[in-house]
A = this chain, B = another copy of it.
Amino acid sequence: MTITGDMLIGASAVRGTSKIQQAINPATGEVLGPDFHGGGAAEAERACALAEAAFDIYRNTSPEARAALLESIASGIEALGDELIERAHAESALPVARLQGERGRTANQLRLFARVLRDGRWQAATLDPALPERTPPRPDLRLQKIAVGPVAVFGASNFPLAFSVAGGDTASALAAGCPVIVKAHSAHLGTSELVGRVIQNAVADAGLPEGVFSLLVGAGNEIGTALVAHPAIQAVGFTGSRAGGLALVQTANNRAQPIPVYAEMSSINPVFLLPAALQARGAGIARDLVDSLVMGVGQFCTNPGLVLAVDSPALDVFRQGAAAALTDKAAATMLTPGICRAYDNGVAQFGEIEGLLRIGSGQTATGPNQACPALFETSAERFLADHRMQAEVFGPASVLVVCRDLEEMLSVARHLEGQLTATVQADADDHALAASLLTVLERKAGRVLFNGYPTGVEVSFAMVHGGPFPATSDTRATSVGASAIERFLRPVCYQNLPAALLPPALQDGNPLGLWRLANGELARH
């Protein structure tokens, strides 16, 4: 498939007349062709008009039809073969094996939502039959969830496939019945076009209205702001920086009709080392934690950026082990020159904070845009007093916070901002403390994990990739896993609707064979 540098607006390839962008190979600095011709407000308007025109038709397609679309997209992405992997590798410097895994995850995610669609519980079909003899009589009431409207999606830099053009936001919005307009991330423009063309083709092959999908390109904020401000757009999915997410939230709040923004923003993913575990497994935890820290050059939303432990001889073992393990870690290429600069700045700023000491470093950079891993240490007292230490430094940097005692560790936990994840390393003797900590961490994070590392987000039914602000802008939502579809649905109640007009999910006799709540009881008949 040829990458042309055009935007995909409905069925058309559109050459923008705004600023030209180029893809860069961060490992070499080489410019990767072609030129990408960015658009502005006019192209956002055109995509939104098509999405609006497509919405009523698309949302009223059968769940089966949408499931087939998602499966067709999954197959189309797989059919791109090495071309996709090679382009993504060139644009991101992410290893080929990692990208192959991410491709599998992306396809699986699309297929998971096909399964969700066929299962049908997303419709929340609910029936309260009429009670004509009651005083006052109860009318016939039936509820289902329907799509909210066209959705704008802003992909992440760090997952060019799984959190990008055909990533979780797009998959869940398309499943819900929402047309999707993606703003391509400038870190992987060619990858975005390849995947975008797969979706464009799948929409056409399915005979769906062209406005079901568009892919926009644009430097700066103009096109994205125009997109979020457009009256047709009814929800926004975003994965990226706190500043970027908050800017979109602001734009959405300032609309005549405010809309929800599901922004997954920043998280430092604290890891608590409890005493018995630290005593028994300190050296092993140090090694595994450093592996988790540098995995993917630390470019995960769930990267462990904070480690907490009580001062003790066992902590000395951990500290030395971690510093030693880090020494062996090579500097590695980050996703973009800008991300690498931001990392270097973040590490430099940490270095200037009084009482925050660098206690470990990986190997120095040997090529462009390489990050050198860094481990810092501070006391709980200083951490509690200096909010700057809670800032996310995106990349392989982490801060060890040394607590005087367990009570101080709990104080630090209570002081933390909202997180995507919180991790506890605990052995059986730690369980009493772990229970107290769990009560705190449930309120701080969307996912609490024991005796593991936070990197690695399963795409399944029980996953929550979300959490209290500022981890996300909406603590009720997850951007990964089956529940992600709920972000793009709203409930509608139908009262005394004539049988001829009832939507299939709510018809007598349950023709779709759904799980439905009838008279407050769940049943499938």
Contacts and interface: CB of A to CB of B under 8 A. Distances in A.
20 contacts: A126-B461, A128-B460, A128-B461, A143-B462, A143-B463, A253-B253, A257-B468, A258-B473, A428-B498, A431-B498, A438-B497, A446-B492, A447-B492, A448-B494, A450-B497, A462-B493, A464-B493, A475-B490, A478-B491, A483-B491
Contacts of A491: 446, 464, 466, 476, 478, 483
Which of A136, A451, A458, A478: most chain B Cβ within 10 A? A458
Nearest to A417: B257
Given A143-B464, A447-B494, A448-B494, 12 more contacts: A60-B439, A121-B522, A128-B462, A139-B458, A143-B461, A249-B258, A253-B253, A431-B500, A445-B492, A447-B495, A449-B495, A450-B498
A133 to B, nearest CB: 15
Given A462-B128, A491-B483, A469 B139 contact: no
A141 interface: yes
Complex A-B, nearest 8 residue pairs according to Cβ-Cβ distance, in ascending order: A449-B495, A464-B493, A143-B462, A141-B462, A447-B493, A126-B462, A128-B462, A128-B460
Contacts of A405: none
A288 interface: no
Contacts of A490: 446, 468, 475-476
A489 interface: yes
A82 interface: no
A12 interface: no
Q: How many copies does the complex hold?
A: 2
B431 A501 contact: yes
A509 interface: no
Nearest to A135: B101
Interface string A133-159: 000101101110010110000000000
A64 interface: no
Given A474-B260, A495-B448, A496-B449, A462 B142 contact: yes
Contacts of A121: 522
B435 A493 contact: no
A64 to B, nearest CB: 18
A497 B460 contact: no
Contacts of A126: 461-462
A469 B439 contact: no
A499 to B, nearest CB: 10
Contacts of A408: none
Interface string A248-262: 010001000111100
A291 to B, nearest CB: 14
